Structure 1
Amino acid sequence: MSTKVALNRQRLKHRIEDFFDSCEERKEARALVEALAAQTRAWIFGGMIRDIGLFGRKGFTSDIDIVIDGNHDVLHRLLSHFHIEQVAVNKLGGVRFSYRGIDFDIWSLQETWAFKNNIIEFEEPDSLLKTTLMSWDSVLYDVRRKTVITTEYYLNDLHQKRLELVLPTNPNQAASVVRILRTIYNKHVEILGPNLCLFLSHVLHDYSYEILQEQEYRSYRSVSFSEGKLDKLIENLHHAKPGCDLKLYFS
């Protein structure tokens, strides 16, 4: 899918709203999200906004991640009100469920892994932007205020197809490496930031292609890169210079 990056935060905001207006199922999903935000502050986080920002509303087909500033009792009361009974506990102690054909992952702000493990200091909700693995995921949509919250150069990086590392510390390094590789290959990354170059240069020596392929298929039931593509990326990384961006060449 070709990219058509949102020009500014206002355009990105409109794309998010258009997504929820595009069919009846999504309108009903928005009613659920807004009902949640009426009880406690809530932010849509990461992947949904990234993909809509990159490709438009038709480019998003995954689950919606939501962070709430409240305890899980509020969430469970709301789910009961909407007659949502098939709920699983997610890895952050929150809940995962499907509603009107859309999958949701919802967890409490205080349960965010980097805050809970004192990796990142929580100062305000914007601190969530520091907890992501990659720069393209550092984006929030405040449901109640209907505003997009990003780092200063977020949209500029999307336009340049430039990806940078944000937080290398995580509980599952192999899964993180696969997430980065899937982003590079599936979302047409063309430039790697210096921190990401350094990170990949180190960790790609720790995992064989077979291990990464197995990890990817186990998590996503698909494979996004061949051994040849991975070798080409490693070859690119040999040309990385400390403190500098790296332009990728896969041909």
Structure 2
Amino acid sequence: MLEIIEDKNLFKRLFAARFKEVLRKYPDFYEFMMNLLISGTAYVVGGFVRDSINNKQSRDLDMIVSLSHTDLNNLLKESDLTFSINRMLGIKIDLGGFEVDIWSIDNNWAFRDSVVKRNEDYILDNISDGCFYNYDGLVVNVHSNNFRSNHYNDFVREKKLNIIQKSKYYKVKNPTIEANLLRAIYLNTFYGVDIAPNCMSYLDKVISQIGDNYDVQDRLNIYLNKYDKYKKVLSIEDVMDTVRLIKYIHANREAKKQLNFGFGQLMED
């Protein structure tokens, strides 16, 4: 299982060493970051932060920056980095074997759609609260090394996947429903964590939403093939077995009472 972040000073040292290693390994990215930090602030979120405390190799790095998208784009154009911009204005930097995904804070979906209120005095909390799952709720200010990890710690301590924000509007506005469904199934399978009722209800609605527009198996198979990490653990048959179980839980009133026991125990019962 994953490690809880308890010793704050130890974690700061581990993260700083890992981030500095990325900067050392990729000089063009180092130069870009130094220029970025002159006029803005950068926050690393999610997996790279989580890998730092768990001593796992990172394949990529996700970052939110305080610059506007225009200023960020101009800064990248002045660098020697190879990058692309997707339709939602997320920027992917290709460092050759390692990728960096960067968002202007204004274009991060949680702030852009006002599903999380933004307050510069509590920006670390705001960014952490804007993460969808508690598993991903980690953020570090790369300049000050200050961080937030309470949501991630809850995931590890309780062994339960949950959606951080409870409002229906927040869930509806998240644009990556297929990826969210596969991520939940992967985490349940790989770590054996339970699925909180709030999260289970969301997954049931997502399955129905996908089914309204596509063949569910075909659609999820397309997304499964995009994630090598998931494919190493899950087959499309595994995914569909869990999809059917989620639908069963919500169709069966007695099963609903056992939501907090997770998929595995429910099947044994």
Assess same fold via TM > 0.5. Answer: yes
SS of residue in 2 equivalent to 1:87: strand
1:141 and 2:140 are equivalent in the alignment: yes
Tell me, which stretches of 5 or more residues in structure 1 are unaligned? none
Q: Does 2:112 align with 1:96? A: no
Q: 1:26 to 1:194 in 2, by over 3 A?
A: farther
In structure 2, the CA distance between the partners of 1:123 and 1:44, relative to structure 1 (3 Å rule), is same
Counterpart for residue 154 of structure 1: 152
Are 1:182 and 2:186 an aligned pair?
yes
1:20 partner letter = F
- In the superposition, relative to structure 1, how do residues 4 and 33 fare at CA in structure 2: closer, same or farther (>3 Å)? same
The answer as to 2:197 corresponding to 1:194 is yes
Query: 2:261 corresponds to which residue?
Result: 246
Q: How big is the alpha-carbon RMSD for the aligned residues of Structure 1 and Structure 2?
A: 3.2
Superimposed CA distance per residue, residues 145-175 of structure 1 (whole angstroms, 9 cap, x where no aligned partner) = 111123x353242244321113422124223
Superposition pairs for residues 52-201 of structure 1, below 5 Å?
Answer: 52-53=52-53, 55-58=54-57, 60-61=58-59, 63-80=60-77, 82-84=79-81, 86-99=82-95, 101-124=97-120, 125=123, 126-150=125-149, 152-166=150-164, 167-169=170-172, 170-186=174-190, 188-201=191-204
Instruction: Give the direction of change, closer, same or farther, for the CA distance of 1:38–1:76 in structure 2 (3 Å limit).
Output: same
Structure 1 distance, partners of 2:241, 2:43, is: 38
More helix by share: 2
2:171 aligned counterpart, secondary structure: coil
Which residue pairs with 2:48 in the alignment? 48
Residue 95 to residue 220, structure 1, CA distance change in 2 (3 Å): same
CA distance in structure 2 between the aligned counterparts of 1:27 and 1:8, rounded to whole angstroms: 31
- Distance in 2 (CA, whole Å) between partners of 1:33 and 1:128 is 20
- Whether the 8 Å CA contact 2:45–2:62 is kept in 1: the answer is yes
For residues 188-210 of structure 1, give each alpha carbon's deviation from its aligned partner in whole angstroms, at most 9, with x where no partner exists. 14222221122224434555344
> Take 1:225 and 1:69, find their aligned partners in 2: how far apart are those partners?
37
Query: TM-score, structure 1 length as denominator?
Result: 0.78
1:87 Cα shift?
1.8
Q: Percent identity?
A: 19
Residue 234 of structure 2: aligned partner = 225
1:16 Cα deviation after fit: 1.6
Equivalenced residue count is: 242
CA offset digits 1:104-152 (Å, max 9, x no partner): 11111111112222333323323222322211112111011111123x3
Q: Give the TM-score taking structure 2 as reference length.
A: 0.73
Separation in 1, partners of 2:39, 2:261: 45
C-alpha distance in 2, partners of 1:78/1:174?
A: 33
CA–CA distance in structure 2, aligned partners of residues 83 and 191 of structure 1: 45
Are the aligned partners of 2:43 and 2:140 in contact in 1 as well (CA < 8 Å)? yes
Quote the Cα distance in structure 2 between the aligned partners of 1:27 and 1:3: 31
- The 8 Å contact of residues 201 and 234 in structure 1, kept in 2 or not, is answered as no
Unaligned 5+ runs, structure 2: 165-169, 250-254
Task: Name the stretch that deviates more: 71-80 or 102-111.
Answer: 71-80
Paired residues of 2:61 and 2:100 also in contact (CA < 8 A): yes
If asked which structure has higher relative contact order (CA below 8 Å, sep 6+), I would say 1
Residue 158 and residue 15 in structure 1: after superposition, are their counterparts in 2 closer, same or farther (change >3 A)?
farther
